[in-house]
Amino acid sequence: MSRVLIIAEHDGAHLNPGTAKCVTCAAALADAQITVAVLAKDPAAVASQAATLAGVTKVLAVANPANEHPMAAILAPQIAAIARDFTHVLGPATTFGKDLMPRVAALLGAPQISEIMAIESATRFRRPIYAGNAIVTVDVSAGTQIAGTVRTASFTAAGIGGNAPIEASAPAVTLPTHTRFVAVSAASSDRPDLQTARRVVSGGRALGSAEGFKLMFALAEKLGAAVGASRAAVDAGYASNELQVGQTGKIIAPELYIAIGISGAIQHLTGIKDARTIVAINKDAEAPIFEVADYGLVGDLFEIVPALSKLLG
Amino acid sequence: MKRILVGIKRVVDYNVRIRLKPDGSGIVTDGVKMSINPFDEIALEEALRIRERGAAEEVIVVSIGTAEAQQQLRTALAMGADRAILVETPAGADSPVEPLAAAGVLLKLVEREQPMLVILGKQAIDDDNSQTGQILAALWERPQATFASKVELTGDTARVTREVDAGLETLEVDLPAVLTTDLRLNEPRYVKLPDIMKAKKKPLEVVPLASLGVATAPKTKVVRFDPPPQRQKGVMVKDAAELVAALHAKGLL
């Protein structure tokens, strides 16, 4: 039997959808008993959301004022203290989980499997290397505790309908004071989050300017979509860093991905491999993006995008 | 002396399209261009800039790998590092040094060199693990600031801006600390020919891995390498109206 501990990602009020994807990943283990740990200043609201996820056996709520802002150096010792009896300790492969889980793994002396995309057994996992250009199957020996990050693009979110008991937990550990939260820039919150959006409209260097890039926001508005950008568009200053989709940016799996003025460099395609449907709009009919697009449209984006916006009324 | 320790890994060059061995036993590396992991180059550049501002006196580059990694260490010395350490693994050893072991090795060097900062890339572009910096910080019981896009040092603290999913987060950490670099922290300098000549005279110490007494037996084993699933080319539409109709028909709008 596998005893799985999932570390919830949240903003203090809402559970991040990455957590529900970790539950789906964990459920692939035979006879999995899944516990979700919510570490927060006041975990009540997030813990009750976690308790409704189908497949969750128990929720551990760890309340501590030090947990107000998630910092790996503060969270890891608390997690290590409650994780001893679990076989698998998982978190989402978001910047939250990527920062935190190796620190937890180190304290547990456990190997970490990063970016798990499939679980074949309690000791066998599949994960991408070389930016997704190869997939490896990795074994650990039986009885080895492992930490892992779960590639959110590879799993659907667990449904709701569960009613797991919530238990308060207060691990007796001394927390360090060497790491202090200063600020987080408030990203615009009226648009869907790029990492979890069902639809994404993404722009490339062909937009030509920050002004031109505004076309993306107008189209996204009509579609209820998140906005993404290629590395070229970000490097050129047309779009901000957190919009970058690709190997060095975000790896996403929306139902609909519309790539506009994006040629389709390998590093970009790596970020959208798992999108359900890809639409490409580009004036260069030879652009590599058309090799992976489900629907391709060759033409001038400055004519096509306004026409699309109009048709979507 | 105020030191910065920078870790660099020898990896298949960023621009090379990797190929799998036909029997699925690994990646073809024979005759393939090898380079410093690009995130590590950014780590070195940041360390050099800190030294050039006078906030540090010495930059030490460390690599863990076979004797061939001396090439990348020489490049790092040509970029401006003061000295290099190669923790040498036996040639032909096919079990890689895992992140837990690599962090253990770095901790030994940290204990010896007592740096104020350790700067590593946020991940190596071969294994894509993104673990070593965080593990080192845990074992060393010091702060970590990962995915850094801006670093400001003031006395015994560093203020680090991090690229997180929500946008940009700023942390203040006491030194010594471990930083890992994101893509936009800086643009690494180019190496000039006279610097390559000078680098040949800089010290490069070779330390056999086994001499450090770190447990390096792998805890994981890759049993198979597969190519990723390929997407099929779809259909071309002639205009915006046809596109919208197709997306409607597929239930996507």
- A108 DSSP assignment: H
**Start-to-end C-alpha separation, chain A:** 53
* Residue A188 predicted with pLDDT over 60: no
Among B119, B128, B114, B111, CA closest to B173: B119
Q: What is the CATH number of the domain that holds B201?
A: 3.40.50.620
Chain-centroid distance of CA A286 in Å reads 32
Distances (CA, A) of A73 to A183, A255, B136, B218: 17, 36, 12, 26
Contact A193 B165 (CB under 8 A): yes
Average pLDDT over residues A211-239: 95
Contact A279 B247 (CB under 8 A): yes
> What token pair was written down for B43?
């780590």
Q: Which of A75, A112, A127, A144 to mutate to test the interface with B (most CBs of B within 10 A)?
A: A112
Tally of domains in chain B:
1
- B68 DSSP assignment: G
Dihedral sign computed on CA atoms, order B66, B129, B151, A203:
positive
Residues A20-77 pLDDT 10s:
999 999 999 999 999 999 999 999 999 999 999 999 999 999 999 999 999 999 999 9
- Helices (H) and strands (E) counted in chain B, each on its own, are 6, 13
Domains of chain A: 3-168 (3.40.50.620), 199-311 (3.40.50.1220)
Q: Select the residue of B125, B138, B239 nearest A103 (Cβ to Cβ).
A: B138
Chain A (98-127) residues lying within 8 Å, Cβ to Cβ, of chain B: 98-103, 105-107, 109, 111-115, 124
Mean pLDDT estimate for chain B? 95
Could you tell me what percentage of chain A is helix, strand and coil, using 3-state DSSP and rounding each to the nearest 5?
A: 30, 30, 40
Contact A250 B165 (CB under 8 A): yes
- The four Cα atoms B243, B245, B250, B253 give a dihedral, to 10 degrees, of 90
> What token pair was written down for B86?
């190669």
Residues A132-172 pLDDT 10s:
889 999 999 999 999 999 999 899 999 999 999 999 999 99
> What token pair was written down for A204?
């490339």
User: A309: nearest CA in chain B?
Assistant: B240
Query: How buried is residue A253: exposed, middle or buried, by Cβ count under 10 Å (0-12/13-18/19+)?
Result: buried
> What token pair was written down for A134?
């190869």
Q: Which of A79, A195, A277, A294 to mutate to test the interface with B (most CBs of B within 10 A)?
A: A294
What ipTM was reported for this prediction? 0.94
What is B143-155 written as a DSSP string? -EEEEEEEEEEET
Residues B112-149 pLDDT 10s:
999 999 999 999 999 999 999 999 999 999 999 999 99
Give the pLDDT score at A153.
87
Task: Give the range of the structural domain holding residue B11, as residue numbers without chain letter.
Answer: 3-249
Distance CA A131, CA A267 (A): 8
pTM: 0.92
Contact B236 A279 (CB under 8 A): no
* Residue A128 predicted with pLDDT over 90: yes
Does A135 contact B at CB distance below 8 Å? yes
Contact A184 B141 (CB under 8 A): no
Contact A102 B125 (CB under 8 A): no
Chain A (178-197) residues lying within 8 Å, Cβ to Cβ, of chain B: 178-187, 193, 195
Q: Which residues of A touch B173 (CB under 8 A)?
A: 178-180
